[in-house]
Structure formats: C-alpha cells, structure tokens
Amino acid sequence: MDLENIPQTLPRFSATFDPHTLAEIRRAAATGIYDIRGGGTKRKLPHFDDLLFLGASVSRYPLEGYREKCATDVWLGTRFAKKPIHLKTPVTIAGMSFGALSGAAKEALGRGATIAGTSTTTGDGGMTPEERGQSQTLIYQYLPSRYGMNPDDLRRADAIEVVVGQGAKPGGGGMLLGQKISDRVAMMRNLPKGIDQRSACRHPDWTGPDDLEIKIEELREITDWEKPIYVKVGATRPYYDVALAVKSGADVVVLDGMQGGTAATQDVFIEHVGIPILAAIRPAVKALQDLGMHRKVQLIVSGGIRSGADVAKALALGADAVAIGTAALVALGDNDPAYEEEYRKLGSTAGAYDDWQEGRDPAGITTQDPELAARLDPVQAGRRLANYLSVLTLEAQTIARACGKSHLHNLEPEDLVALTLEASAMAGVPLAGTNWIPGQTF
Amino acid sequence: MCGIVGLFLKNSTLEPRFGELLAEMLVVMTGRGPDSAGFAVYGSGENGRIKLTVRGDDLDSIVADLGGDISGFIRDTHLVLTLPERDEQRVRDWLAASRPDLAVTGAGERIELYKEVGLPADVAKRFGLAGMSGTHGIGHTRMATESAVTTAGAHPFSTGTDQCLVHNGSLSNHRSLRRMLEPKGIRFSTDNDSEVAAGYLSWKLQEGATLAEALEASLDDLDGFFTFVVGTESGFAVLRDPVSCKPAVMAETDDYVAFGSEYRALAGLPGIQNARVFEPEPARVYAWERN
Amino acid sequence: MPVVDLAETTKRDLNAQLHALPADTNATHWTVENSEGQHALAVGLDVPITVEINGHAGYYCAGMNKQATVVVDGNVGVGVAENMLSGKVHVKGDASQSAGATAHGGLLVIDGDASARCGISMKGVDIVVKGSIGAMSAFMAQSGNLVVLGDAGDALGDSIYEARLYVRGTVKSLGADCIEKELRDEHKADLRRLLDAAGLDETVSVADFRRYGSARGLYNFHVDNSSAY
C-alpha cells in the first residue's frame, strides 16, 4: 500500500448545516437578535417560470404584432366608487413608504408610473408632496400604524388601500430601525428621532371582516363614496381572505405572494410565512367566481413579478392587474453593479444587498442619508422605470397576440401548461403534453 | 365572523313578545353576517318530555313513522318533536338509521333551535320567529370565515341538552381541542371552530362544572378571539376573550338583559332609553339565572 | 339651526350636507335625532360647526374630525374620534373600544367610561375620561395626553412612546416599558389646562393624579429586553 498517496476525503459541507446556516447561528449567538433585512424571500420557489403559454398555430390564429390591436388598459374600482381608476397598463407600483425609501426615490416612482399611465402607492408613513405632485394616479395606503394619516390626503388620493397584510410578513407588523428615522421621517410619524419604530400587526380600531365592513363604510363616508377602496392581504388562505374582503365591501383586492418585498422584517418571517403567488392566484379567483364577482371586484396580484411573461401569466390565471415593488426599485437603480465596491465594503455584493433597514444604500434609494439620497436623480430614474414598465407591457402584449387575444384580459388558464408537477398543482393547469392536473385544485 | 344577539327576560309579561324582539335584533345585524342566520328560543316545556329540533327535507311523515307518544310540528325546514325523555335514545337511533339525511340541531326540555342559509330577515320570517314566545334565547348572523356557507355551519351550536352557543371571532387551536374532545364522547357535525367551543362547554358541564365555571375554564383552554353568548335551560351568559377584539354591548333593565354585537341591535327594545347600557369587560363571565 | 332626523334622512345625506358646508357657513349648530347607534356619523368634518347627536352612536363617530365640535348625548361605539386632527368631541355617556385611536390633535372628552384600547397609537390628541378606561389603553401611544379620573385596566401604556398618561385612580397593571414618572410642576400646569378644557373645576385636584410614561427601554433593541417584545 502506498501510504504516501492515499486520496484525501474532500471537505464536504452539510446540506442541512450549510455555510449560510452556520454563519447565521454564529451571528445569532453573538448578537441575541434575529436577522432583520429588506427584500423578499430568497429561497427557490415554484414560480411563473414553471408555466408556458400555448401560442396559436393551426387550431387558433395569432394576432399580427405591431398592427392588430391588443388592448392593455384596466379599470379598477368599478363596484361602488363614483370615480373608478382607469390605467393604460395593468402593471402598477406597489406600496413602499417614504421612510423606507428616500423622497427622491418616491418621486421617481411617481414620475415613472405617470409616464407609463399607471398608479403608484404610498406606504407606512404618509403621503409626501413629491409623491403626490409627480403621481397622476396615487393610491393611499391605510395601515395599522396610521402614520401621517389625515383626511386631506385621503381626499387627495385617487384610491384608498386598506392594508391587512403583505406577502413578506402576513400576520406581522412593520419595522423601521432607528438609523432611518431622520428628522423628517420622525416628524411625519410623530416619533422621536433615531428610535426603532415598531408598527402594530393589527389595525387599532377593527379586527375581522364584520368590523372591516364598518371601517370601509366610514372611509367611503369621509370621501363621499368617490374613491375605490382596495383591501390588501398577504397570501396565506387566499380563498377565504378574498371572499371576506369582497363581503366586507372592497372594490379591489390586492393579493401579495411571499416573494413580495419589505423594507425591513425578520428573515425568519420573510422565508417561512406565507405562500408563493403562483399558488395563491387560482384560489383567489375561485373565491371571486364563487361570489359572482370576478372582474367586478378587481384582483391585483404581486410578489416576484419581473417580466411581461410574468404579467401575462398572472393575468391568464385570472388577475386583473399586477403590482411590482422589487423590480421597480431595480429599475430605479437598486443593487446596481456600478456601486460594487461600496457593496463590498458593506459586506455584500451587487445583486445581493438587502440591508435596507440600515439606511446605507449605495444606490441612494432605501436611505434617508441626504448624501446617499442625492445620488438618485428622480427624473432619470423615473425615465428608467417608465421604460421598464413599457417593456413589461409590450412583452405581455406580444404573448397575448401570439395567443390570439385582442385584450390582455382575454388570456385564460387554458392558455397555459406547467413544466413541473408543483407548478401544475399550484396553478391548476395541466402538465405540459398531458391533460393531467395533479391534486385537488381550485 | 358575525353579529350576535341575546335576550333574557326578567319580566314574564314580555314573554309573548320575545320572538318579535329577538327578530328585530337579529335583522339589524345583517351587515355583520349576510350568509346565514340562526336562533335558539327557550319556550314552554313539559317536565319529563324533551324537544328535539330536526332539520332537513321531507318531514311530513316522521311523527307517524315514529309512532308512540310523540307529537311534532313543522316550521319550514325544521321539525320539532316532543317526546318522553325515556324515548330520546330510541328516536335518535331511529333517525340515524332511517333518516341519516336529517340533522338534530338541538335537544332539551325547552330549547328549539333553527338555522338556515340566507339573509337574517328571510330566515327569521321562514321560521316565524316574530310569533314565538319564550323566556330567553340567542341569535346569530354569520359571515363564514374558513368554512363553507352551509346550514350546518350556521349558529347557534348545541352539543348538550338545553345548551347552545353563538360565537363571534375566530379560534386558533380548535383542531387540537377537537382531537382532545372527541375521545371524551363529544360529537361534532361540522368543521366549524365555534362548534368546538360549544362542545368544550358541554364537556365541562358534563364534568360537573357550573356554566360560569365552564366559561372560566375556557379562558385557559381556548386560544384566539371570541365573544360568546351562551344559553342553558335556566341561564344566560356572556364571555369575551382577554384581548376582546370583537365588539359587545349589553343593556339591563328591570325587565330584561340584552346583548348585541353593536348597540344598533338593542335600539328597538322597550325602555332602552332608560336601560343601563354597558360593555362587558374582557375575560369576565357575566351570567344570569332564572329564579 | 338645522335638525336632521335620521328616521327620515339617511346618514349619507347627513354627512354629504355637512361636507358641503363652506368654511364661513352660518349653519353652525346642527342637531341629529334618532341616531339609534348608526355608524360613521359626522365623519370627516372640516368646518367650525357644532353637531349635537341626541342618542347613541355606533362605530367611528366623528372619525377624522377637523375643526368641528361633535357632542354625543349617549354612548358611542368603537373608535370614536379615530384619527381626529383638531376640534372637539364630547361623549356624555360611555365609549366603546379604541376611543381616540391614532388621533393627531383636538380634544376628546368622555364623561363616562371608555373600554379597552382607549388612546391606542394616539399621536397628539388630548383625551380626558371622567370615568375609567379598559385594558391595553394607550398601547403604542406616541404623543399627546390621556387623563383618566377613574381607574385604568391591564397593561396601561404598553410599548408607549412619548405620550403622557395621568390617572387619578388605580392602575391594574402597567404594560411593557411603561413606568410611573414624577408629576412635576410643568405636568401639573398641563394637567390643569386639560381638566379646565374638559369643564372640570378645582374640585378635581391635579395633585391627586399620578403620571405614567415611557421608560424608553425599547427605543433601540437590546438583547436583555427581548422578553418585552
């Protein structure tokens, strides 16, 4: 035996205790606090990538690209509101707060959305003049904390979104760490500067659908029944939650899957609570259909929408519109490789940076530091967002035309097949090449 | 999620108007629960005889089919049988064997328990609630949360003799409780969380607890949000969980004690202007017994 | 002196009429009859008028009030004067849960008791309760003053920020991060101002009150406080 040349066993990491897990145990042991970060889930989930469209061929005829009409507009809030909203594209901007984002970033979102003919949304922390001024259509979020909530802004808004939960943390409240509570944020939220702001997980004056009905009535009375009332829920039990939102009197339901981002929350919450948007849409649509309310109460879905293909797939599964958050921030300039050196200094890398709670964002978006925030030009960033929204719309149109649809809303589940068993079961569409949908689906 | 009401008369001259008063209270709570409605009324009873309320279709021939010393009357989809106490098991066995399509919604010397899918006003009308007399009773309008909109899922729930419960809220440990109660002989006929609460109280009462003690114990064993209104042959009780998210308002006069999810439900009661109107405190049992 | 009888006029019409008033309206005193516990009465007002409701009101009475004075001769349901910005709301009976929730300004006076969560997330409002308040009152209260002549229930001031709480009776228990604080002269002066505003004379002595506020222990996370989260 050649004792000199015995092959060495290669070091092997445990799949269970992988390097990320080991680092997290050490971090927890050193600090005694859970990991808080921004963004959405990072784990691999069944998603829209696992679905494919069946384009037209001999049995069906496609529409000619660039020539034959394929409409993209959407009406929201047609059930009760005197002034429903009409958007040119079904891609809206999700709620993100001033506080979590800089004033310039909020302004850029408004500029981009307005050019594209869509809406943007406030967040936990009130409405800023920059945002209202630059947003043609602005949705005002009504959150448990009611930071900055006032009736003047309520009347200034184009719609009101009652936030029950969000996909990143269904059942949880908000959090904004002290680093981001600047003078202006502190003033808007009636908080001392520099403290950790903890937001409640339940609304202070209603709990449950029977009381929500009364709350919605109050908001309608205050605004003389003009504004559409949205109800936003994080995806967990979408069939029941959507049905109850409808029974409570909502005009629009916003359904946010677990891929949806957040300004700052416990990592354990982001990664382990809620369900993927792919699994949530069909039960939500089924609830609307069972109540005879599909297309009458509109459904906006969000959580991991990145491309026009995602938009088209969400609509085909029955949504009326989608909302984007993370993708919109990337379009503005979030995690731009141009700042790689600075990301490295923060212990991260471009594309993985998620410590939005620290307020040291090199791209100047998730920060209240005036020097960093000055890096973002709201006009240019708004233009980038508008371009991106345009691409999402064009891509979705391309697919819809290929399927022979003259409106995006004529896409249907039967235009889709699934690549994996998981996606097939969750989306309720057949495995490609078969007529088989596994499991009991909605 | 729902609206709940309850009325307990102290002044017997109001008894002929009981159903009329409860019906009005119930209908006002439609907004909180448009899916279905139900109510239990404690009316007249005879010592040694028991009333079984049976729900289902094709009820006409049942009294004749059963034979013996049994009488009955039909109100819409419900049949109330009156029979000697000693015959209860025989009748239940016969129903289970011959008419498995029917459900027994309530049993007791005085309780009658009706529930149906539909708007509360329609449900009250179908059963002629306004014409019923009684000493006390409870009612419920339901907005289904995580179970189907079915008659079986409507409240009140009764799992013991002359006992019934209505619930507003949502329990978070009802699956575990169900697994604990089933081996003890408590039977459930729906997947509804509120039925588990009713079963829990029945179990405690079987074990010898008073109604107040059973409710006290529920504060430790039930997790989640609840406002309960409970009826027994001679009593009426109210309990809210310690967090008490769900609303409750009560009114008391020399003539009655009334409960509503909202004050609106009480607004039509006689003499309400001079009633003591108050909100029951969290985690405190309020109970009234007939003399 | 318009009188609106809700037995004949809908709540929608009442609120629409009140919203349509110009700032310099001469119709400065309104009376509402037959309220019967209806919800969302006199909500979203923004004119310096007085609305008197003769009877009980339901949820969110005078919600988001600005400038107006709303007087309820009866009890109110959940969330009276919720998110009020300015003006005054006076309840002559009892208030249900979440009275004055998240209110930013103005004065809320309750002659009777207020139940759980009175002053939850209050953001600058002054609240005077002549009776007692229920559990979890002033939860996450951010700023403003809560004065209670009677007793306070469990967990008063849990997770409180900079609001000031004055209680004359007993406090069943204090919530996380809420402590008793010294009642200094500046507080006594402020308390007197609040009692006067609520129509209480010198027979109610400021010296009989105790002050509660934030220990500020939860303002920034520390591992040794984690059990309070």
Residue-wise pLDDT tens digits, C146-191: 999 999 999 999 999 999 999 999 999 999 999 999 999 999 999 9
CB B127 within 8 Å of CB B114: yes
Instruction: Kindly indicate the confidence band of residue B218, based on its pLDDT and cuts at 50, 70 and 90.
Output: very high
Q: Report the C-alpha gap between B26 and B130 in whole angstroms.
A: 11
Percent of chain A at pLDDT > 90 equals 85
Task: Give the domain ranges of chain C.
Answer: 3-201+210-216
Q: Of A146, A214, A224, which is closest to C19 when you measure between CB atoms?
A: A224
**Over 80: is that where the pLDDT of B56 sits?**
yes
**Residues of chain B contacting residue C37, judged by C-beta atoms under 8 Å apart:** 262-267
Residue A79 makes CB contacts below 8 A (sequence gap 6+) with A250, A251, A293, A296, A297
pLDDT of residue C35: 95
Residue A339 makes CB contacts below 8 A (sequence gap 6+) with A350, A362, A363
Q: Report the C-alpha gap between B72 and B52 in whole angstroms.
A: 9
Query: Which chain C residue is nearest to residue A211, measuring alpha carbons?
Result: C59
**Amino acid identity, residue C151?**
D
**Over 80: is that where the pLDDT of A66 sits?**
no
> How far off is chain A from C77, nearest CA to CA, in Å?
10
Residue-wise pLDDT tens digits, B250-270: 999 999 999 999 999 999 999
Residue with tokens 């967002």: A385
Residue-wise pLDDT tens digits, B162-202: 999 999 988 999 999 999 999 999 988 888 899 999 999 99
Which of C72, C91, C96 best tests the B interface by mutation, with the highest count of B CBs <10 A? Answer: C96
Residue-wise pLDDT tens digits, B30-46: 999 999 999 999 999 98
Which tokens belong to B158? 């009764």
> How far off is chain C from B267, nearest CA to CA, in Å?
6
Q: Report the C-alpha gap between B234 and B42 in whole angstroms.
A: 9
Domain that holds residue B154: 2-40+138-289
**Over 80: is that where the pLDDT of C227 sits?**
no
pLDDT of residue A194: 84
HEC readout, chain A = CCHHHCCCCCCCCCCCCCHHHHHHHHHHHHHCCCCEECCCCCCCCCCHHHEEECCCCCCCCCCCCCCCCCECCEEECCCCCCCCEEECCCEEECECCECCECHHHHHHHHHHHHHHCCEEECECCECCHHHHHHCCEEEEEECCCCCCCCHHHHHHCCEEEEECCCCCCCCCCCEECHHHCCHHHHHHHCCCCCCCEECCCCCCCCCCHHHHHHHHHHHHHHCCCCCCEEEEEECCCHHHHHHHHHHCCCCEEEEECCCCCCCCEEHHHHHHCCCCHHHHHHHHHHHHHHCCCECCEEEEEECCCCCHHHHHHHHHCCCCEEEECHHHHHHHCCCCHHHHHHHHHCCCCCCCCCCHHHCCCCCCCCCCCHHHHCCCCHHHHHHHHHHHHHHHHHHHHHHHHHCCCCEHHHCCHHHEEECCHHHHHHHCCCECCCCCCCCCCC
- Give the count of domains, chain B: 1
**What's the mean pLDDT in A380-395?**
98
Residue A409 makes CB contacts below 8 A (sequence gap 6+) with A74, A90, A295, A315, A320
Nearest to A95 by CA among A153, A147, A141: A141
Query: Which chain C residue is nearest to residue B267, measuring alpha carbons?
Result: C36
Instruction: Kindly indicate the confidence band of residue A190, based on its pLDDT and cuts at 50, 70 and 90.
Output: confident
**What's the mean pLDDT in A410-420?**
97
Q: What is the CATH number of the domain that holds B167?
A: 3.60.20.10
Helices (H), chain C: 11-19, 185-197
Residue-wise pLDDT tens digits, A32-56: 888 999 999 999 999 999 999 999 9
Cβ within 8 Å, pair B146-A210: no
Cβ within 8 Å, pair C116-B244: yes
**Over 70: is that where the pLDDT of A163 sits?**
yes
Instruction: Kindly indicate the confidence band of residue A440, based on its pLDDT and cuts at 50, 70 and 90.
Output: low
**What's the mean pLDDT in A5-31?**
94
Q: Is residue B193 part of a domain?
A: yes
Cβ within 8 Å, pair C143-A145: no
Which of B147, B241, B245 best tests the A interface by mutation, with the highest count of A CBs <10 A? Answer: B245
CB C56 within 8 Å of CB C73: no
By three-state DSSP, how is residue C211 classified? strand
Q: Does A298 touch chain C (CB under 8 A)?
A: no
Q: Of A237, A240, A247, which is closest to B34 when you measure between CB atoms?
A: A247
Query: Which chain B residue is nearest to residue A246, measuring alpha carbons?
Result: B143
How many A-C residue pairs are in contact by the CB < 8 A criterion? Answer: 111
pLDDT of residue A328: 98
**Over 80: is that where the pLDDT of A356 sits?**
yes
Query: Which chain A residue is nearest to residue B144, measuring alpha carbons?
Result: A244
Query: Which chain B residue is nearest to residue C136, measuring alpha carbons?
Result: B243
Which run of H or of E encompasses C50?
strand C50-54
Q: Is residue B125 part of a domain?
A: no
Q: Is residue B245 part of a domain?
A: yes
**Over 60: is that where the pLDDT of A441 sits?**
no
Cβ within 8 Å, pair A205-C11: no
Q: Of A33, A200, A225, which is closest to C121 when you measure between CB atoms?
A: A200
Which residues of B carry out catalysis?
2
Residue-wise pLDDT tens digits, A324-353: 999 999 999 999 999 999 999 999 999 999
Q: Is residue B49 part of a domain?
A: no
Nearest to A238 by CA among B146, B191, B193: B146
> How far off is chain A from B246, nearest CA to CA, in Å?
7
Chains with at least 3 CB pairs less than 8 angstroms from chain B: A, C
Percent of chain A at pLDDT > 70 equals 99
Q: Which residues of C touch A (CB under 8 A)?
A: 11-12, 15-16, 19, 39-40, 43-44, 46, 58-60, 63-64, 66, 78-79, 82-83, 85, 97-98, 101-102, 104, 117, 120-121, 123-124, 139-140, 142-143, 159, 161-162, 218-221, 223, 226
Phi and psi based region of residue B185 (left: phi greater than 0; alpha: psi -120 to 50; beta: remaining): left
**Over 70: is that where the pLDDT of C229 sits?**
no
Dihedral sign computed on CA atoms, order C36, C38, C40, C46: negative
**Over 60: is that where the pLDDT of B234 sits?**
yes
Instruction: Kindly indicate the confidence band of residue A2, based on its pLDDT and cuts at 50, 70 and 90.
Output: confident
Cβ within 8 Å, pair B2-A210: yes
Instruction: Kindly indicate the confidence band of residue A191, based on its pLDDT and cuts at 50, 70 and 90.
Output: confident
**Residues of chain A contacting residue C142, judged by C-beta atoms under 8 Å apart:** 189-191
Cβ within 8 Å, pair A223-C58: no
Cβ within 8 Å, pair C135-B244: yes
Nearest to B73 by CA among B84, B59, B85, B86: B59
Q: Does B146 touch chain A (CB under 8 A)?
A: yes
Q: Report the C-alpha gap between B196 and B183 in whole angstroms.
A: 13
Instruction: Kindly indicate the confidence band of residue A412, based on its pLDDT and cuts at 50, 70 and 90.
Output: very high
Q: Report the C-alpha gap between C108 and A330 in whole angstroms.
A: 46
- Look at chain B and count its residues: 291
pLDDT of residue A199: 81
Contacts of A43-47 with C-beta under 8 Å, sequence gap 24+, read A43/A271, A45/A258, A45/A259, A45/A276, A45/A278, A45/A304, A46/A276, A46/A278, A46/A279, A46/A420, A46/A422, A46/A423, A46/A426, A47/A259, A47/A276, A47/A277, A47/A278, A47/A304, A47/A423
Cβ within 8 Å, pair B262-C93: no
**Residues of chain A contacting residue B169, judged by C-beta atoms under 8 Å apart:** 208
CB C86 within 8 Å of CB C66: yes
Lowest mean pLDDT among A175-184, A363-372, B279-288: A175-184
CB B245 within 8 Å of CB B200: no
Q: Of A189, A205, A225, which is closest to C82 when you measure between CB atoms?
A: A205
Topology adopted by domain A50-333+376-427: TIM Barrel (3.20.20)
Instruction: Kindly indicate the confidence band of residue B210, based on its pLDDT and cuts at 50, 70 and 90.
Output: confident
Query: Which chain A residue is nearest to residue B4, measuring alpha carbons?
Result: A210
How many other C-beta atoms are found inside a 10 Å radius of the C-beta of residue B140?
32
Residue-wise pLDDT tens digits, C201-225: 999 999 999 999 999 998 887 777 7
CATH architecture of C3-201+210-216: 3 Solenoid (2.160)
Q: Of B145, B246, B261, which is closest to A244 when you measure between CB atoms?
A: B145
Cα–Cα–Cα angle for A326, A332, A338, rounded to 5 degrees:
105
pLDDT of residue B145: 83
pLDDT of residue C15: 98
**Residues of chain A contacting residue B2, judged by C-beta atoms under 8 Å apart:** 210
Cβ within 8 Å, pair B143-A209: yes
**Residues of chain C contacting residue A211, judged by C-beta atoms under 8 Å apart:** 59, 78
Lowest mean pLDDT among A145-149, A158-162, B145-149: B145-149
The shares of helix, strand and coil residues in chain B, as percent rounded to the nearest 5, are: 30, 35, 35
Nearest to B272 by CA among B247, B288, B287, B252: B252
Cβ within 8 Å, pair C36-B277: no
Q: ipTM of this complex > 0.85?
A: yes
Cβ within 8 Å, pair C58-B244: no
pLDDT of residue A203: 96
Q: Which residues of C35-45 are buried (b: 16+ CB within 10 A; e: fewer)?
A: bbbbbbbbbbb
